[in-house]
Amino acid sequence: MATAANSKACTGRPIFEAVHGSAPDIAGKGLANPIALMLAAAMMLDHVKLPDVATKLRTAVDDTLNIDKVRTGTLRQRQASGLRQKQTGA
């Protein structure tokens, strides 16, 4: 998952996007992770000079992950894999 802000060379207009595919193979399965899209939105809010709103959005993402411990399917799988590696020393 990655976040990007690009500037189109021909227009100079920024594009804020989550740079991953649409993942039709996991549609409707509760596995998609919207965090990159949310962080791209925060970058856009910074660009339009709404840094306070961008900070609130970033804080909400951070709190959801680190305080509430909410995980989508992909993050649960990653977390479980990391725990197994720690337990086996791999």
| One pLDDT digit (tens) per residue for the chain, 90 residues | 455 556 555 677 888 887 776 678 877 877 777 888 899 999 999 999 999 999 999 999 999 988 888 777 667 666 666 555 555 555
Amino acid of residue 9: A
| Pair type for strands 14-18 and 3-7 | antiparallel
Asked if 15 and 6 touch (Cβ cutoff 8 Å), the reply is yes
CB neighbour list of residue 36: distance below 8 Å, 6 or more residues apart? 1, 2, 3, 18, 19, 20
Tally of domains in the chain? 1
Query: What is the residue range of 58's domain?
Result: 3-88
Which residues sit opposite 6 in a β-bridge? 15
